[in-house]
Amino acid sequence: MRPPLWLVLACLVPSVLALMPIAYVALRSIEAGTSGILQDLVRPYTLNLLVNTLTLSVSVTVCAGLIAVAAAWCTERCDLPGRPVWRLVVTLPLAIPAYVSSFAWASLGPWFQEMQGAILILTFYSVPLIYLPVCAALRGLDPNFEDVARSLGLSRSRSFLRVVLPQISPALGAGALLVASHMLAEFGALSFLRVETFTTAIYDQYTAEFNNNAAALLSGVLMLICLPVAFGEAAVRGRRRYARISRGSARLLTPIALGGFTPVVMLALALLAVASFVVPLVTLGFWVWQGSSTGRGIATVVPAMFTSLGYALPGAVLTTVLAIPLVVGSIQFRGWIARVSDRLPYLVHGLPGIVVALAGVFMSIRYLPEVYQSTTLVLLVYAVLFLPLAQSAVRASAELVPRELTDVARSLGKPPLAAFVLAMLPNLAPGIGAALALVALQLMRELTATLLLAPAGVVTLATEFWSYTSDRAYGAAAPFAAALVLISGVPVYLFTMRALRVVERP
Amino acid sequence: MHRNCRDADMTKLTRRALIHAGMGLAAAVAAPAGLARAQATPLILYNGQHRATTEALVAAFTKATGIKVTERNAESPELASQIIEEGARSPADVFFSEQSPPIASLAERGLLGQVDPATLKLIPDKFAARDGTWIGTSVRTRVLTYNKKLITPEQLPKSIMDVASPAYAGKIGYVKQDGFQEQVMAIVHIRGRPAALEWLKTLKANGRAYNGNRIASTAVENGEIAFALSNNYYWYSLAREKGAANLASALYSFPGDDAGNIFNVSAAGMLKTSRNQETAQRFLAFMLSQEGQVAMADTTAEYPVISGVTSPFELAPLSAFTAPVSPADMGSASDAYSLEREAGLI
């Protein structure tokens, strides 16, 4: 079946946007290649970067995946007391920007730096990104499948591996993809932790050599690394269908008794919260208590908060609106164009923020000078940076909608767009809500694109935090970080509630 | 603490007297103000210098001339990269860089215009670009920051060449940005290229790399590492935040005419494509005026570049820094990068 025209057009916009940084990197890399920098790439130093980048990305994704699935299993399927509280506890780290938590941890000593520290800290940070979709998937499972597996003689662990795991694998895969590609691009946290990856080396190229071409060449390599990540997840998901027409069994799942393990699980979850939430907050408190700059700029906290929201909310709406057609197109129409356009943004997600921001400079000043350093441009670049977050969230809902729904609407005489709006869109609501919250959360802490591309004089919580910490005015910086954590709590809470919307049944 | 505050006030008072004395120059700079005041379009400033410093400077400029300044703040290298991508269409009039290499890289690409010769004359040649495309606006020195509990000044290396010797393995921290290139270039000048390469290799083998002077000096303060190569003002900004008496770290300079005793500058220049060149030149001139220098000196522990203005911070006399290489010699320090490449540092 051919996709309708409106969908093709709607997919074109985000695809063109995502292609811009790719084109920029390609252009600059070609320039670099012809000027002989290519040989520079083949050195032990680059190999070292490759090893570090892959070690970090794979380790964090695997560790966060294991912790997230275990935590999701305990809070969803077991008789852990106070489960709603524990769910929030596991998701709280989302409210802390990675650069704040890594600063806090790195100041505890050298053990928490370098690769082991980076893996540890970024794992804590990444757990919620996998935990939430996995929780949602676990809740949606039909217990019948497990009953059948058990009645056929499979043990509990074997039925988990053969029945439960395949069903939560799309959610697990989507979360893992986000974490893996995010780790490729992470910079702020790593700079405190003394780990060198492709992304930090790209920053080095900009900061030490002012060599945009050499930096682009490294970015090109980074995109190649991202390629198998982006398409691999689609392969894991495969062509399986997850949508069901029937509501399935109405029987409720009986929670599994944890028995003697209850205190162990509670202790582990509490430790997770302390590590990822309490340590950074205590550090902020320490700054305020110790700093002579405490109180400086305090009057800007509230206006900066409103500016942060003023950019993050429209940015989240735009990003989500652009993400919907990509997801719908790739699920309902299996052509290669739909698949590639759905994957393009994931490639870009693995690029460092500075590269995407400079691509925005390059493209806008040449082809759209009217929007240069305007709100429009910065919102568009935000979308390029964070489309995949919205896509993953929307996909989680869209996978569950039978495509026949739109067909039915069409057969009742509705034109394609109306059929989509009437039959499909309402079913995407939970995913859209989650996408808005998640993207808004990331946008509030975005720094590089905001500094280079927002209209002059725009002051957000993130820019103020950066500004004061680079003057070492930690006491003055702390309230901005605290405000960031505080307003991040709102989307985190909404996101958690959205993702886990199924009401706790008695 | 209280005593320090009073001292600062005292210095301010004496400086105020100095300003009065230097009013003549200030008046000369502000002379065409009356004309421009009515129609002047705001100056667009890309600022990579510490924001508090630039804000003080801009406030003084606007007060003196009535001209508004629109600031875009980011890290200097990011802004340099941005200007390179913007090319001829850059909206920026003036670029104020925390270090000289980013602005020198713009000069090498032909993106900067000439600074007014009268402005260039206000500072010694060693603080400005050879081709007259940028001016140094304040000076900072390269130093060792050391942790007093981990090492004594007697135990510290006597020369920059010894900092990475096996005796200091695991004790020395270094930062590959912001001042490091200049350090490498100074060693090249004095000891030659092979010695500089060898130095970089031992540094890689025996030293610990940090991703920023701020992070390295915090690591020294926290006792993670005994000492680190850094710029002087990071210690001062920490001292201001926590109180000097509470710090575990201190500053150290090599004795005598060592290649390690060098200075760097913050620098500013006008974009060749600026559509507001007259105002841009006035801003550059103002940066080197008595008022401009005082405004900057009050906010950061750097040395003013014109005589007659002193820093309120207790800085070691600049005369101790017999730098063999000046920022003017440095350019964008591109040879330092090829050496760092050869040594496997970048």
B181 contacts in chain A (CB < 8 Å)? 208
Most confident of A94-108, A221-235, A304-318, B185-199: A304-318
ipTM, two decimals, is 0.87
The shortest C-alpha distance from B22 to chain A (Å) reads 30
Instruction: Answer yes or no: do B224 and A110 touch at CB < 8 A.
Output: yes
Q: Which of A392-401, B71-80, B201-210, B290-299 has the lowest mean pLDDT?
A: A392-401
Confidence at B10, pLDDT banded by 50, 70, 90 = very low
Q: Which of A66-80, A81-95, A436-450 has the lowest mean pLDDT?
A: A81-95
- Model pLDDT for residues A430-475, shown as the tens digit of each residue: 788 888 988 998 999 899 899 999 998 899 999 999 888 887 788 8
Give the bridge partners for B268, in sequence order. B96, B135
Confidence at B16, pLDDT banded by 50, 70, 90 = very low
- Average the pLDDT over A185-203 and give the result: 83
Residue A41 lies in a domain: yes
- Model pLDDT for residues A1-39, shown as the tens digit of each residue: 677 888 888 899 999 999 999 999 999 888 876 666 666
The predicted structure's pLDDT at residue B2: 40
Task: Give the separation between CA B275 and CA B252, rounded to whole angstroms.
Answer: 45
Asked if pLDDT for residue B9 goes beyond 50, the answer is no
> Does B2-139+264-318 match B142-262+331-343 in CATH topology?
yes
Asked if pLDDT for residue B3 goes beyond 70, the answer is no
The predicted structure's pLDDT at residue A427: 83
Max Cα distance, chain B (Å) = 65
CATH code of the domain occupying B142-262+331-343:
3.40.190.10
Query: Within 13 Å, how many C-alpha atoms sit on residue A57's CB side?
Result: 26
Residue A504 lies in a domain: no
Task: Give the separation between CA B65 and CA B40, rounded to whole angstroms.
Answer: 10
B234 contacts in chain A (CB < 8 Å)? 472
Query: Is the minimum CB–CB distance between A40 and chain B shorter than 8 Å?
Result: yes
Task: Give the separation between CA A20 and CA A361, rounded to whole angstroms.
Answer: 11
The predicted structure's pLDDT at residue B29: 45
Give the bridge partners for B46, in sequence order. B72, B95
CATH code of the domain occupying B2-139+264-318:
3.40.190.10
Distances (CA, A) of A399 to A330, A406, B75: 10, 14, 43
Buried b (16+ CB within 10 A) or exposed e, A54-90: bebbebbbebbbebbbbbbbbbbbbebeeeeebbbbb
Instruction: Answer yes or no: do A210 and B105 touch at CB < 8 A.
Output: yes
Residue A244 lies in a domain: no
Asked if pLDDT for residue B186 goes beyond 90, the answer is no
> What ranges make up the beta strands (E) of chain B?
43-47, 69-73, 94-97, 135-147, 172-175, 208-210, 227-231, 249-252, 263-270, 303-304
Task: Tell me the pLDDT of chain A averaged across its residues.
Answer: 84
Query: Within 13 Å, how many C-alpha atoms sit on residue B68's CB side?
Result: 7
Query: With left for phi above 0 and alpha for psi between -120 and 50, is residue A114 left, alpha or beta?
Result: left
The tokens of A482 are what? 């605290």
Confidence at A198, pLDDT banded by 50, 70, 90 = confident
B224 contacts in chain A (CB < 8 Å)? 109-110
Confidence at B18, pLDDT banded by 50, 70, 90 = very low
Asked if pLDDT for residue B34 goes beyond 70, the answer is no
- Average the pLDDT over B171-200 and give the result: 89
Confidence at A253, pLDDT banded by 50, 70, 90 = low
Pick the closest to residue A179 from A215, A131, A231 (CA basis).
A131
DSSP, residue by residue, B246-304 = G-SEEEE--SSS-TT--EEEEEEEEBTT-S-HHHHHHHHHHHTSHHHHHHHHTTSS-EE
Q: What are phi and psi of B52, to 5 degrees?
A: -60, -40
Confidence at A182, pLDDT banded by 50, 70, 90 = confident
The residue assigned the tokens 């017999």 is: B322
Residue A506 lies in a domain: no
Residue A401 lies in a domain: yes
- CB-CB neighbours of B18 under 10 Å: 15
How large is the angle between the packed helices B23-30 and B277-287, nearest 10 degrees?
Answer: 170
Asked if pLDDT for residue A175 goes beyond 80, the answer is yes
Task: Give the separation between CA A466 and CA A219, rounded to whole angstroms.
Answer: 24
Pick the closest to residue B269 from B261, B256, B281 (CA basis).
B281
The tokens of A33 are what? 């290649």
**Which residues 242-261 of A are in CB contact (within 8 Å) with B?**
none
- CB-CB neighbours of B141 under 10 Å: 22
Instruction: Answer yes or no: do A194 and B208 touch at CB < 8 A.
Output: yes
Instruction: Answer yes or no: do A452 and B82 touch at CB < 8 A.
Output: yes
Query: Is the minimum CB–CB distance between A109 and chain B shorter than 8 Å?
Result: yes
Residue A426 lies in a domain: yes
The predicted structure's pLDDT at residue B21: 45
B225, B237, B334 member nearest A471 (Cβ): B237
The tokens of A69 are what? 């699935």
Asked if pLDDT for residue A75 goes beyond 60, the answer is yes
Distances (CA, A) of A188 to A183, A200, A468, B311: 11, 9, 15, 33
Confidence at A499, pLDDT banded by 50, 70, 90 = low
Task: Give the separation between CA B249 and CA B239, rounded to whole angstroms.
Answer: 9
Q: Which of A247-261, B52-66, B107-121 has the lowest mean pLDDT?
A: A247-261
Confidence at B30, pLDDT banded by 50, 70, 90 = very low
Residue A245 lies in a domain: no
- Average the pLDDT over B285-294 and give the result: 95
Asked if pLDDT for residue B38 goes beyond 50, the answer is no
Question: Which residue has better confidence, B75 or A290?
Answer: B75
**Which residues 259-318 of A are in CB contact (within 8 Å) with B?**
290-293
The residue assigned the tokens 């895969």 is: A173
Which one of B178, B249, B346 makes the best mutation probe of the A interface by having the most chain A beta carbons within 10 Å?
A: B346
Q: Which of A112-121, B54-63, B196-205 has the lowest mean pLDDT?
A: A112-121
Task: Give the separation between CA B27 and CA B262, rounded to whole angstroms.
Answer: 34
DSSP, residue by residue, B103-131 = HHHHHHTT-B-PPPHHHHTTS-GGGB-TT
Max Cα distance, chain A (Å) = 70
Asked if pLDDT for residue B6 goes beyond 80, the answer is no
The predicted structure's pLDDT at residue B12: 41
Residue A202 lies in a domain: yes
Q: Domain residue spans in chain B?
A: 2-139+264-318, 142-262+331-343
The tokens of B146 are what? 């050391």
**Which residues 459-498 of A are in CB contact (within 8 Å) with B?**
463, 467, 469-475
Which one of A40, A48, A112, A209 makes the best mutation probe of the B interface by having the most chain B beta carbons within 10 Å?
A: A209
Task: Give the separation between CA B142 and CA B165, rounded to whole angstroms.
Answer: 19
- Average the pLDDT over A45-62 and give the result: 91
The shortest C-alpha distance from A363 to chain B (Å) reads 9
DSSP, residue by residue, A139-183 = HH--HHHHHHHHHTT--HHHHIIIIIHHHHHHHHHHHHHHHHHHH
How large is the angle between the packed helices A353-367 and B76-86, nearest 10 degrees?
Answer: 30
Pairing of strands B43-47, B94-97: parallel
Query: With left for phi above 0 and alpha for psi between -120 and 50, is residue A378 left, alpha or beta?
Result: alpha
Confidence at A248, pLDDT banded by 50, 70, 90 = low
Give me the percent of chain B exceeding a pLDDT of 90. Answer: 52
Task: Give the separation between CA B48 and CA A369, rounded to whole angstroms.
Answer: 24
Asked if pLDDT for residue A144 goes beyond 80, the answer is no
Residue A70's domain spans which residues?
5-239+250-499
Give me the percent of chain A exceeding a pLDDT of 90. Answer: 25
Residue of A nearest to B247 (CA): A290
**Which residues 410-449 of A are in CB contact (within 8 Å) with B?**
448
CATH number of the structural domain spanning residue A48: 1.10.3720.10
Pairing of strands B69-73, B94-97: unpaired
Question: Which residue has better confidence, B66 or A290?
Answer: B66
B99 Cβ neighbours under 8 A, 6+ residues apart: B76, B178, B179, B264, B265, B266, B267
The shortest C-alpha distance from A124 to chain B (Å) reads 22
Distances (CA, A) of A30 to A22, A158, A204, A363, B334: 12, 52, 20, 17, 21
pTM tops 0.95, yes or no? no
Domain count for chain A: 1
Question: Which residue has better confidence, A183 or A235?
Answer: A183
The predicted structure's pLDDT at residue B199: 95
Q: Which of A33-37, A111-115, B38-42 has the lowest mean pLDDT?
A: A33-37
B73, B82, B101 member nearest A467 (Cβ): B73
Instruction: Answer yes or no: do B84 and A210 touch at CB < 8 A.
Output: yes
Confidence at A247, pLDDT banded by 50, 70, 90 = low
Confidence at B158, pLDDT banded by 50, 70, 90 = very high
Confidence at B37, pLDDT banded by 50, 70, 90 = very low
A106 contacts in chain B (CB < 8 Å)? 215
The tokens of A81 are what? 């007391």
A207, A208, A456 member nearest B70 (Cβ): A456
Pick the closest to residue A170 from A228, A226, A229, A242 (CA basis).
A242
The predicted structure's pLDDT at residue A245: 59
Confidence at A290, pLDDT banded by 50, 70, 90 = confident
> Vertex A243, ends A242 and A249: CA angle to 5°?
100
